[in-house]
C-alpha cells in the first residue's frame, strides 16, 4: 500500500458514509449558533445577567466592532463576494447533483445554508446600525438572529441527513 493510498483511505471522498463529514457538519452549525455576528453568545448572557456595567459595555463594543467590520466588507466587496459565492455554489450543485459527485453534494449541502446565514447576518448588522440598538434590545435582536441560525441549522442537518441516507441506501456507498 503506497502513501497515496493511505492518504486517500484516510480522506474518504464518500462524504455521507464518512464520520468526519458528520463531525464537521455538527461543529459547523454549533459554531455558527454560538458566534452570533462574530460575538460569542456567552458574552451576551453575561451582559444580560448584569454582571456589571463593564459586561454590557464590552458586549456592545464587540457588536459594534463586528457589525462595522461586516458592513465594511459588504460595502467594499459585496458584489464580488456575491458573484464568487454564486459561482462556487452553482459549480458545486452542477457537479454534485448533475454529475453525481458526492463530495460536491456534501459541500453544497454545507455551504448553501451557510450562505443564508451570511445574508441574515448582514441584514441583522444593517438593522443594528440603522436603529442604533443598545442594551437589552441588542441582546434580544441577537437572540432572534441566533434562533433563526439554529432553525436554519436544524433544517440543514435534517435535509443533509435525509439526502445522505438516500444516497447511501439507494445509490450505495460506492456508486
Q: What is the DSSP letter of 171?
A: I
pTM: 0.85
Total domains present in the chain: 1
Domain assignment present for residue 10? The answer is no
Work out whether strand 39-40 and strand 35-36 pair parallel, antiparallel, or are unpaired: antiparallel
Domain assignment present for residue 114? The answer is yes
Looking at residue 167, its pLDDT comes to 85
Domain assignment present for residue 46? The answer is no
Q: For 40-54, how does the pLDDT look when each residue is reduced to its tens digit (9 = 90+)?
A: 999 999 888 876 788
Q: What is the mean pLDDT of residues 110-124?
A: 96
Q: What is the DSSP letter of 38?
A: T
Contact 41, 50 (CB under 8 A): no
Domain assignment present for residue 75? The answer is yes
Domain assignment present for residue 7? The answer is no
Q: What is the dihedral of CA 126, 115, 47, 132, to 10 degrees?
A: 0
Which one has a higher pLDDT value, 8 or 167? 167
Structural domain of 109: 53-175
Retrieve residue 107's grid coordinates.
459541500
Which neighbouring-strand residues pair with 40?
35
Domain assignment present for residue 124? The answer is yes
Mean pLDDT, the chain, integer: 90
Q: For 144-154, how does the pLDDT look when each residue is reduced to its tens digit (9 = 90+)?
A: 999 999 999 99
Residues with Cβ < 8 Å from 155, sequence gap 6 or more?
113
Going by pLDDT thresholds of 50, 70 and 90, the confidence category of residue 13 is low
Amino acid at each position: 500500500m503506497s502513501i497515496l493510498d493511505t492518504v486517500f483511505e484516510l480522506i474518504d471522498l464518500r462524504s455521507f458514509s464518512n464520520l468526519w463529514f458528520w463531525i464537521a457538519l455538527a461543529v459547523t452549525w454549533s459554531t455558527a449558533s454560538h458566534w452570533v455576528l462574530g460575538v460569542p453568545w456567552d458574552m451576551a448572557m453575561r451582559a444580560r445577567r448584569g454582571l456589571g456595567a463593564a459586561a454590557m459595555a464590552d458586549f456592545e463594543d464587540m457588536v459594534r466592532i463586528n457589525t462595522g467590520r461586516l458592513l465594511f466588507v459588504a460595502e467594499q466587496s459585496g458584489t464580488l463576494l456575491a458573484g464568487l459565492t454564486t459561482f462556487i455554489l452553482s459549480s458545486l450543485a452542477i457537479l454534485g447533483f448533475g454529475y453525481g459527485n458526492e463530495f460536491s453534494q456534501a459541500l453544497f449541502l454545507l455551504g448553501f445554508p451557510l450562505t443564508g446565514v451570511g445574508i441574515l447576518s448582514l441584514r441583522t448588522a444593517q438593522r443594528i446600525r440603522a436603529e442604533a440598538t443598545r442594551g437589552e434590545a441588542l441582546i434580544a435582536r441577537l437572540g432572534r438572529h441566533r434562533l433563526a441560525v439554529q432553525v436554519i441549522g436544524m433544517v440543514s442537518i435534517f435535509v443533509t441527513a435525509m439526502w445522505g441516507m438516500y444516497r447511501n441506501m439507494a445509490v450505495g456507498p460506492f456508486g
